[in-house]
Structure 1
């Protein structure tokens, strides 16, 4: 196979993979039980093409998780995590991540309910945790956040409080604005030195 033909084949494969993921995001958020046939049809490819890229539904779902994580990480980076006070930056970063998750409410809930090992869960959250941790370490260095507690612990607490706020909204116990204010209040109290 010539170099040009190989490049074209790889470009086609990337386009197909992207189309499959785009279709999976749309369909699975609207219909969590959508079949691989339906996803293939929405992507404009055959079922065999879907299986060539994603050997099982679980592989496709893992790729969807990666896509959403990448989107959230990009949104968090665009929220200027290195600008202004660490507290303000952290809240901007969390809001950016939350807006991304809010674009896929059903899918985010489905992903959160999947049983995964602690190691897989840690890997899934790593890009998000890295961004949050960077802001927390900056806040510790500036004295805004407690230095006596490891940044990794504060990062984990921040993620858990964020999940709790989202779960309260999903369950209908809080309105989004209420949950955002509760998150802000509790989180800043938890991070403050001498709390």
Structure 2
């Protein structure tokens, strides 16, 4: 098996095209493409993601992706930056994650077992804490529950990603609209923060 890092890079490169080509097929894909040993194969059908997840390198990829997302949030200064800027940084981290690991937001990836440090568990509370801080400073309105707003903001970004995926919006336009909408949703002033990262997905 190729070393994990090489496999991760290969998956990042092939994943969008491979999933599009094989999502509904029953083609047998040469296993070396996925880091399997000689003579093994991975069947591309409804079992694709499950079979792929069984490979140690894929498990390592998923764990590495989760850890990288956590690091992006840690480095964003979400607890110290002005709330509007912190919200922009939070969304920037999400776009960086999507740019790096687009496979993990596709439908087949939903069948891959979640990592031990699952972003579904640690991301919403961090956003909720950010929103609560913005309320205390007067930057965000206290009209709706912070947990509800956090879920809504995450939903906005998922929608923005989907709009890019269907080519209804450019990545840059989607990121700008997502930030503007998130600020308005939280009761902040649109235009008070600007995303620093320009997504390419």
TM-score (norm 2): 0.66
What are the residue-to-residue correspondences of 1:26-175 with 2, within 5 Å? 26-32=9-15, 36-40=31-35, 57-60=52-55, 61-105=58-102, 107-110=103-106, 112-115=107-110, 123-175=118-170
* Mapped partners of 1:179, 1:155: distance in 2: 18
Report the structure number with the largest CA radius of gyration: 1
Instruction: Go from structure 1 to structure 2 and tell me whether the alpha carbon gap of 1:172 and 1:84 turns closer, same or farther (over 3 Å shift).
Output: same
Counterparts of 2:110 and 2:89 in 1: how far apart (Å)?
30
Partner of 1:10: none
Rounded to whole Å, the distance in 1 between the matches of 2:136 and 2:63 is: 31
Which residue among 164, 182, 185 is the counterpart of 2:180?
Answer: 185
Q: How many residues align?
A: 161
Contact 1:36 1:57 survives alignment (8 Å): no
- Bigger fraction of residues in helix: 1
Distance in 1 between residues matched to 2:81 and 2:139, nearest whole Å: 12
Distance of 2:35 and 2:54 partners within structure 1: 15
Greater shift, 22-31 or 90-99, is seen at: 22-31
CA shift for structure 1 position 40: 3.3
- TM-score relative to the length of structure 1: 0.68
Query: Could you tell me which residue of structure 1 aligns to residue 197 of structure 2?
Result: none
Root mean square deviation of aligned Cα: 3.2
SS of alignment partner, residue 35 of structure 2: helix
Distance in 1 of aligned mates of 2:175 and 2:119: 23
Question: Whole-Å Cα distance in 2 between the matches of residues 181 and 70 of structure 1?
Answer: 26
The CA distance in 2 between the partners of 1:59 and 1:138, in whole Å, is: 41
CA contact (8 A) 1:81 1:89 kept: yes
Residue of structure 1 in register with 2:191 after alignment: none
The alpha-carbon deviation at position 166 of structure 1 amounts to: 1.1
